[in-house]
Amino acid sequence: MEIWINPACSKCRSAISLLDAEGAEYTVRRYLEDVPSEDEIRAVLERLGLEPWDITRTQEAEAKELGLKEWARDADTRDRWIAALAEHPRLIQRPIITADDGTALVARSEDAVREALAHDKA
């Protein structure tokens, strides 16, 4: 299992604490330093079953500078969204956990982290 985190994020720290408490084996990816490529973002979106705008932090200053709230949310603009996430990784919702069974989820709650653990043990 891999978890994409920003160490400054309280939800990321909570997720790591829960994974540690459960004795989970995982790899940490500090995605602001080890920025995912557009292809990696596409792969995670496929695993999540979400679109790029679903995992975009639209309240960030960078999102406002880019005018993301005005961007269309459709197939024609999907690549533009993915490019923005790769260029501005701070816009990616966190933490994201990818389990060994091929699933992924945005683990912003304890329940979501426990769901990832269940998938990882499957």
Cα separation, 37 vs 104, in Å, equals: 17
**DSSP assigned state of 5:** E
- Token pair for 34: 């080890």
Residues that are catalytic: 9
Torsion of CA 98, 111, 78, 39, to 10 degrees: -10
**How long a stretch of residues is the chain?**
122
